Amino acid sequence: MTRGATGPHQVLYVHGGGYQTGSPTSHRALAAHLSRTAGAPVHLPVYRLAPEHPHPAAVDDVMTAYRALRDAGHSPQRIAVAGDSAGGGLVMALLLRLRAAGEELPGSVGLISPWLDLDLTSPLLAANAATDAMLDPSWLPHAVAQYRGTSDSPELWPLDADLAGLPPVHVFAGGDEVLLGDSDALVTRIRAAGGPVDYRRADGLWHAYPVFAGMLREADDAVAELGAAIRRDCGDGRTPRVAVVGAGFGGVGLGMALRGAGWTEPGELTILDRADGVGGVWRANTYPGAACDVPSHLYSFAGEPGTEWSRRFAPQPDILRYLQRLTREHGLTEHLRLHTEVTEARWDESRAAWQLSLAGGDSIEADVLVPACGQLSRPVRPVISGLDRFPGPVFHSAEWDHGVDLDGKRVAVIGTGASAAQFVPAIVDRVAALTVFQRSAPHVIPKPDRAYGRRHPGNRAAARAFWAAFFEMGALGITSVRAAAMPLRLASAALRRLQVPDPALRARLTPDHPIGCKRILISSDYHPALGRPHVDVVTEPITGVTAAGVRTADGAEHPVDVIILGTGFAATEFLTPMKVFGTGGQELSERWRDGASAHLGIAVPGFPNLFLLYGPNTNLGSGSIVHMLECQIGYVRQAVELLRFGTRTLVVRPDVAERYDAEIQRRLTRSVWTGCRSWYRTASGRIVNNWPGTMREYTMRTRRFEAAEYELGA
């Protein structure tokens, strides 16, 4: 048995091999892929092979395996039976034998290039002999003789049987294979008998091509389609409607996962975003120099490494193109509702559904609500006297005004966070004077960036593993093993010594907090930009903005023509301004008045069928948020799949959520983040953004959806 997922449905998969070869080992990889897409354990029976064991030995063994599943308590409706080539023939023989014995048939049948005509009468055997890269037709007569022996049982000729009353049958065949005629004939006969059957006939492909899942896109698609069909057939016929709010990495990633799991109709999956396109922060943040500070090998989905990367640290246009391509290739375009803002979500207990109110007056209903709004989606504009009356352009870095010509202008930059570290070097050569107002000096470490050539560099898996290990070491230094942060601290100090020769400026750029307490910046050109003759770093607090410039506490007025706000985001105000009301009308922001919390950063007591992506305490001080999102997406997919099988509502138990939150907050008190003020903390000092462990730990804790931690409603 291959354990790729939990049921409650089961898959019995019968391997092919001409009745003479093959084993569970030869089909283990296919079974693993099918387990993932079907959301069920896949059982691979060992059956006896010809010529030592001719018919009916193999059918007897498959029958025994099916009855074993029944004896284990699995109802026929919850069992799918599938097989390829000769295994497909055994599946059809099993159905005929079960019906003859008066036993209930399984709930779903999957056939991959089934071998059904042992008389070998199809003209396609010869016509496709030169195009089938997998199977040589000259071998088939010998295999028939070895398997058939002296038997003349009707189950050897399923194409001649009465095919009425079968469960849903799903057939897959290659358009260039020699056994194509068997699939064509079976589909024709089932349809003539009025039975439910669908058929994927892949032109240009060979015999049993889905066996190459994991290596061939068409094979992946076929296995995904079969898995989705099994879910539908073996479930209760109900596909919960999922509404995802946000079309950034989280929304696109969950959309991909649910599409692969069978949420293929637009009404079953809706991804809403107030913007005019996908991308989230990577669509909104178009400031000069915008790029990721995590290498692209790690800042991408594990199964979709991407070909867009022009540099190791991908610039914003590359990342946006990556997300746009995934949206197209995974069929998400038809699920998008853009220019659509969700203003309120209210749980309707009588209907066990979420009612979503949209800006403009429309509304939609969904069984599951997944906010994927992110933590860095709402720019913060500082409250500074006179700022709203400044006569020149004023804009936030996340809302960059490309209509403003900075050439030859005197520019003020308020804030020295991650965005400023990127756009300051990008504009420094354009402006006449640049004044950077710094409240707290950040730690900066070198950025080992480089351009990529036409071919994608190196071994992706090895590079991903290297960078994951690098950031995991940083995470340990920030959270639990302070000594592990020593290399980062030394790198930050060395970079200042090398790049800032002026001791006075170096003193201003020296942080007054432990490394990692605030976000560590990765840049090799930020400090040199600040050292340019026409750049001034001001550390005096800002007291106001006048018509001529920015005034500071020392009484100085700094003349400027343009003000750029690099003042970050309202990261602790999750989901704002959307209002979310759970059971009893409780409002989520009220529940979170003292600081947001959620079990695993995903589920909140009192809010059924609500699952957050990039929720409380899932941010990283060192690592890839895309990795964390993938963990959450896998967890949410499992939860949503459970709603297909009789369960109508899922809400995390209060005691589970309270124990988890107590643990996380206890661990956070030992982290470096308690040593300073930062956007990771609320005004009360509670750390609501960051995860206190490693990416690997979070992977292990979210790997399996534990239904026992939830209250299940029928």
Examine the pLDDT at 374 and tell me if it is beyond 70: yes
Half-sphere exposure of 254 (CA within 13 A, CB side): 36
Reduced to 3 states (helix: H, G, I; strand: E, B; else coil), residue 95 is helix
* Pick from 111-120, 229-238, 696-705: least confident: 229-238
Task: Answer for the pair 308, 321: CB distance below 8 angstroms, yes or no.
Answer: yes
CATH superfamily for domain 242-278+332-378+571-713: FAD/NAD(P)-binding domain (3.50.50.60)
Q: Does the domain made of 387-448+488-565 have the CATH classification 3.50.50.60?
A: yes
Q: Tell me what pLDDT residue 454 has.
A: 56
Q: Tell me what pLDDT residue 236 has.
A: 62
Summary mean pLDDT of the chain: 92
Same topology between domain 242-278+332-378+571-713 and domain 387-448+488-565:
yes
Q: Tell me what pLDDT residue 449 has.
A: 94
Kind of pairing between the strands at 353-358 and 342-348: antiparallel
Q: Where are the domains of the chain?
A: 10-234, 242-278+332-378+571-713, 387-448+488-565
Q: Tell me what pLDDT residue 673 has.
A: 87
pLDDT digits (tens, 9 = 90+) for 86-105: 999 999 999 999 999 999 99
Q: How far is CA 453 from the centre of its chain?
A: 28
In the DSSP assignment, the letter for residue 378 is: S
Examine the pLDDT at 1 and tell me if it is beyond 50: no
Distance CA 578, CA 370 (A): 13
pLDDT digits (tens, 9 = 90+) for 542-563: 999 999 999 999 999 999 999 9
Examine the pLDDT at 302 and tell me if it is beyond 90: no
Q: Tell me what pLDDT residue 21 has.
A: 94
- Angle (CA) 508 510 514, round 5°: 140
Q: Tell me what pLDDT residue 681 has.
A: 85
pLDDT digits (tens, 9 = 90+) for 22-67: 999 999 999 999 998 888 899 999 999 999 999 999 999 999 999 9
Task: Tell me what the mean pLDDT of segment 643-650 comes to.
Answer: 83
CATH superfamily for domain 10-234: Alpha/Beta hydrolase fold, catalytic domain (3.40.50.1820)
Best CA proximity match to 277, nearest among 230, 244, 320, 220 = 320
Question: What pTM, to 2 d.p., does this model score?
Answer: 0.72
Examine the pLDDT at 186 and tell me if it is beyond 90: yes
Q: Tell me what pLDDT residue 252 has.
A: 98
Task: Tell me what the mean pLDDT of segment 265-281 comes to.
Answer: 93
* Pick from 2-11, 546-555, 637-646: least confident: 2-11
Q: Tell me what pLDDT residue 233 has.
A: 84
Task: Kindly report whether the peptide bond that precedes residue 154 is cis, defined as omega within 30 degrees of 0.
Answer: no
Direct distance between the N- and C-terminal alpha carbons of the chain, in angstroms, rounded to an integer: 30
Strand partners, 111: 83, 171
